Copies of this chain bind each other. A is one copy, B any other.
Amino acid sequence: MAVSNIRYGEGVTKEVGMDLHNLGARKVCVMTDQNLCQLPPVKAVLNSLTKNGITFQMYDDVRVEPTDQSFMDAITFAKKGEFDAYVAVGGGSVIDTCKAANLYSSSPESDFLDYVNAPIGKGKSVTVPLKPFIAVPTTAGTGSETTGIAIFDYKELKVKTGIASRAIKPTLGMIDPLHTIHMPERVVANSGFDVLCHALEAYTALPYKMRSPCPSNPINRPAYQGSNPISDVWAVHALRIVAEYLKRAVRMPDDHEARANMHLASAFAGIGFGNAGVHLCHGMSYPISGLVKSYRAKDYNVDHPLVPHGLSVVLTSPAVFTFTAEMCPERHLEAAEILGADIRTAKIKDAGLILADTLRKFLFDLNVDDGLAAIGYSKADIPALVKGTLPQ
């Protein structure tokens, strides 16, 4: 069980320069994207670096929903810069890109596919030391600041895949609740759906004792190790926060308490799924995003069609949990209760259907698109979606 260090509090971002100074960093790479580079979170980081006399270079070309090519562009920048520390300011796309940049610039002789998950890549263990890396999340969704996972679209195969290793986990995550108050409504909803599914999938993942084979050398064990007594604590706790605060956070932009709690829930769920793993919602989401045709997500300022990650994950969730309930019906029922279902007279055999119904109601209340058809898919796309899911 690998857990990130996180620091939580309003304004903690302004301390990043001191942390880098304490780490002895002299030349820092700051990564962000074009939407964020003029916004307060990035400004707060840059001010802090300047104030503490830290030299830095800025890479603000991170692609929202990154690709192998956009990862490689960032890696090239990182290799050239010879940085001794990294700071990522953004959502999961930025933090994941920075993980890749830190990894491949620390292992310059590696081919890109060396560390990419098998079967698409070689899934090599990371044995090189990486540079210190501070992640400052600006969305409440991926929990990427707490995980050793970096996801990208592999264009050649039109699927999402990733790199998974404890070694690429940020050294420190700075959870500054002020950073999410500017998120547009749909970004709050979609990133909240990601937290919801992280929590539900981590809690219902195959238990760690049932996974086999377990590699005898700990360094070869996957970051995703199955549900366990520690990930369970985080998953359930995150789910309770989602149940209490997500609707408020979406509907009322000035509800700081709700947004701050969702920001924490994102990190908590990240610690949960970052160790337990995710399963079908996330596995199926990768082709759903990767094969996008013309869907343009409301509130996302990008120049390409996009199914936001959280949306692509949550759309299948009622079907997924109907299917998975058989494995651990008590947990499905418990999740339904946390999300508001009255389970006093529920039968254990109906656990999946009850959770599915509860999810549908929860999602419709939040104006989610109504299924895959609503984002542009038809029956004819099923073979391609299945093909994209299987490597996961």
Contacts and interface: CB of A to CB of B under 8 A. Distances in A.
Copies in the complex: 2
A230 B9 CA distance: 12
A118 interface: no
Contacts of A217: 15, 18, 22
Contacts of A218: 7, 15, 18-19, 22
A216 interface: yes
Interface in A259-310: 264, 268
Contacts of A268: 233
B7 A4 contact: no
B15 A6 contact: no
Interface string A209-253: 000000011110000000011100110010000000000000000
A5 B1 contact: yes
A169 B208 CA distance: 26
A384 to B, nearest CB: 40
Contacts of A22: 127, 217-219
Contact of A8 (B1, B2, B5, B9): B1
A353 interface: no
B233 A237 contact: yes
Given A3-B5, A233-B237, A18 B216 contact: yes
Interface string A350-365: 0000000000000000
Interface string A1-45: 111111111000001001100100000000000000000000000
Contacts of A208: 9
A216 B9 CA distance: 13
A181 B218 CA distance: 25
Nearest to A173: B1
A2 B3 CA distance: 9
Given A217-B22, A218-B15, A218-B18, A228 B3 contact: no
B8 A230 contact: yes
A241 B167 CA distance: 32
Contacts of A6: 1, 3, 230
B2 A5 contact: yes
A9 B209 CA distance: 9
Nearest to A238: B233
Given A229-B264, A233-B233, A233-B237, A7 B1 contact: yes
A146 B56 CA distance: 34
Contacts of A4: 3
A148 to B, nearest CB: 12
A387 to B, nearest CB: 36
A237 B1 CA distance: 17
A229 B229 CA distance: 19
The interface centre, meaning the residue of A127, A218, A228 with most chain B CB atoms within 10 A of its CB, is: A218
A294 to B, nearest CB: 42
15 contacts: A1-B5, A1-B7, A1-B8, A2-B5, A3-B3, A3-B5, A3-B6, A8-B229, A9-B208, A18-B216, A18-B219, A22-B218, A229-B264, A233-B233, A233-B237
Interface of A: 1-9, 15, 18-19, 22, 127, 208, 216-219, 228-230, 233-234, 237, 264, 268
